[in-house]
Amino acid sequence: MVATFDRIARNSGYGLLVTPLFEDIGVFVRGVGEHTDVVTKEMYDFSDKGGRHIALRPEVTAQVARAFIQHRPLLPWKVRYGGPQFRYERPQAGRYRQFFQVGAEALGSEDPDLDVEVIALGWDLCESLAVSGVKLWVNSLGDKHCRGKYREVLVAFLAERAGSLCAEHSKRWESNPLRVLDCKKPECKSETAAAPWQIDHLCPECESHWSGVRSGLDDLEIPYEILPRLVRGLDYYTRTTFEFTSSALDGAQNAVGGGGRYGGLIESLGGPPTPGIGLSMGVDRLMLAVGPDASGPRGPEVFVVDLTGGGHARRICGALRRQGIAAERAFDARSLKAQLRSADRVGARFAAIVGEAEAARSVVTLREMEGERRQVEVAVADLAAKLVEARSAPDAVGGS
């Protein structure tokens, strides 16, 4: 999965960025938002021997912003990343305290086409992995010009219903009213069903950006649904937010990825005003959604069975692997039967058997491991070509 995302993102011009597993805690407090669950409840933080207050990274976007400010690369700056993240959450299926994300960030442009490009990375990953029942949900949260006005409208709406919200939000609705829309509790969901939505209160610039994103997705034939309550749990978002869900996963943990645009993140960390957009995909959840069969490694193309002690297996495997052919072998000079059993277990398509008689003539007996188990004698010098030919020709072995 990591390799598949790597290929997709590299093909779209995203260079590899490796960020550290821990950082000064301020990067996350100021970047992700001091009132977010990620910062207030889920951070693994500690003081190191030099008295620095640091945290295991809960996500990468704030780190990318920090790296940008520190190194000032040319814009647009497009990077991809992958690695473990840490959040002190209640562990359950699909929610772990250490989980693995792949992701990408693009800094330096407000063009809605960049939003479309980033969303397409996630869509193409889900398509390539054949994740079942994938849905893309999109929304716009406006920017600092229209969010303030919308907030007033939302606060007025919530004020009339505060007593009926969930225990947490009946107390905390005013400090962060947007978060109430994101609450999964039934009380909050039903009370906010008729809430005013940000997408109906966008300023002309945000409206035009939002319409550019939707027409770009239409143009690439990426299906989406508009979810006006999609505010997401991190504070840096402005304008576009999006999430991918899979029907193969349980309700509360069904998001396999998400992201959005951040207009003020770089500034909040002390950098020059620089827009950005990114996404992160949860590899653990993608694996749960796809299942072990589809993501499991495929067997080698050939298993070299050496009955002369191992020297031929060493040389033949070495040569085949250098030519890009997946070749496997046994060790410890096992019997013919034991080596064939190993070839079967790893799912090899062919066994290439070398006994004393074959070795004397520089040939192998190439045997199918499935179906009719036909076999044919092949010169060692021709083995690579024969195996390459067999990739596209199911009958390549012929023989008896």
Among 44, 99, 157, 224, binds ligand HAM (CB under 6 A): 99
197 binds ligand HAM (CB under 6 A): no
Q: Which is nearer to ligand HAM, 28 or 303 (CB)?
A: 28
What tokens were used for 230? 């999609």
What tokens were used for 14? 């995203």
96 binds ligand HAM (CB under 6 A): yes
Preceding amide of 272 cis, omega within 30: no
Number of residues engaging ligand HAM in binding (CB under 6 A): 24
Among 80, 87, 209, 349, binds ligand HAM (CB under 6 A): 87
Among 256, 302, 343, 348, binds ligand HAM (CB under 6 A): 256
Site for ligand HAM in 215-244 (CB under 6 A): 234
- Of 87-95, 128-136, 193-201, 375-383, which segment contacts ligand HAM by CB under 6 A? 87-95
CB of 149 vs ligand HAM, minimal distance in Å: 25
The residue whose Cβ lies closest to ligand HAM is 282
**Using an 8 Å Cβ cutoff, are 94 and 259 in contact?**
no
Site for ligand HAM in 104-133 (CB under 6 A): 105
CB of 97 vs ligand HAM, minimal distance in Å: 7
3-state secondary structure the chain: CHHHHHHHHHHCCCEECCCCCEEEHHHHHHHHCCCCHHHHCCCCEEECCCCCEEEECCCCHHHHHHHHHHHCCCCCEEEEEEEEEECCCCCECCECCEEEEEEEEEECCCCHHHHHHHHHHHHHHHHHCCCCCEEEEEEECCCHHHHHHHHHHHHHHHHCCHHHCCHHHHHHCCCCHHHHHHCCCHHHHHHCCCCCCHHHCCCHHHHHHHHHHHHHHHHCCCCCEECCCCCCCCCCCCCEEEEEEECCCCHHHCEEEEEEEECCHHHHCCCCCCCEEEEEEEHHHHHHHHCHHHHCCCCCCEEEEECCCCHHHHHHHHHHHHCCCCEEECCCCCCHHHHHHHHHHCCCCEEEEECHHHHHCCEEEEEECCCCCCEEEEEHHHHHHHHHHHHHCCCCCCCC
Site for ligand HAM in 40-79 (CB under 6 A): 59-61
Binding mask 132-171 for ligand HAM (x = CB under 6 A): ----------------------------------------
259 binds ligand HAM (CB under 6 A): yes
Q: Which is nearer to ligand HAM, 196 or 271 (CB)?
A: 271
Site for ligand HAM in 291-310 (CB under 6 A): none
Site for ligand HAM in 262-291 (CB under 6 A): 278-280, 282, 284-285
CB of 25 vs ligand HAM, minimal distance in Å: 17
Q: Which is nearer to ligand HAM, 63 or 192 (CB)?
A: 63
Among 31, 33, 82, 103, binds ligand HAM (CB under 6 A): 103
CB of 286 vs ligand HAM, minimal distance in Å: 8
CB of 398 vs ligand HAM, minimal distance in Å: 48
- Of 70-78, 96-104, 161-169, 194-202, which segment contacts ligand HAM by CB under 6 A? 96-104
Helices 112-128 and 204-219, packing angle to 10 deg: 40
User: In the complex, which residues of this chain contact ligand HAM (CB under 6 A)?
Assistant: 59-61, 87, 89, 95-96, 99, 101, 103, 105, 234, 255-260, 278-280, 282, 284-285
